[in-house]
Amino acid sequence: MAERTASVERNTLETQIKVSINLDGTGKARFDIGVPFLEHMLDQIARHGLIDLDIECKGDLHIDDHHTVEDVGITLGQAFTQAIGDKKGIVRYGHSYVPLDEALSRVVIDFSGRPGLQMHVPFTRAVVGGFDVDLFQEFFQGFVNHALVSLHIDNLRGHNTHHQIETVFKAFGRALRMAVERDPRMVGQMPSTKGVL
């Protein structure tokens, strides 16, 4: 079976990013982004998605984290598109519910070829560890637009903002893992009646 890996670089006046992924990895992760809370959340994707991730970013953090967070989402989405290829033989859909103490989140994803984001997370605080939680919407919008997926994110309950966010990222990792899994009954087949995704 062909390796499902990709390395993508994105260079703008605001950020310089390198992303390498292996969809069939073991959850190894290395980050040099300069935004510790984002790195902690990306580690959840790797660990719970069993996706190897290596991400470097030099961004204009002297302004704020916005461009870095959004552009990491964009570049990660581009890497997924490249690594997943023509989508033949994949499960296509993934979903997960993940709890963490009082918090519970649900993430559902479809590698449909059509970008769409529905994110409903009633954050109880605006900042966690110096990180502006509004930026997670930018991260996921960037990912969705470039991975060409439909993504539904719902925090169903929770009052600790760190827990709310962590359950979202763990569920996102597990949903990704399910969706990109190779289905032995679908070898060589497109998981769509249209014949293309």
Which secondary structure element, helix H or strand E, spans residue 82, and what is its range?
Answer: helix 66-84
Q: Which of 109, 27, 32, 114 is nearest to 72 (CA)?
A: 32
* pLDDT score, position 2: 82
Question: How much is the pTM?
Answer: 0.97
Binned average pLDDT, 10 residues per bin, the chain of 197 residues: 93 98 98 98 98 98 97 98 97 98 98 98 95 97 98 98 98 98 95 92
Contact 164, 155 (CB under 8 A): yes
Q: Which of 179, 169, 80 is nearest to 121 (CA)?
A: 169
* pLDDT score, position 162: 97
Bridge partners for 18 per DSSP: 9, 56
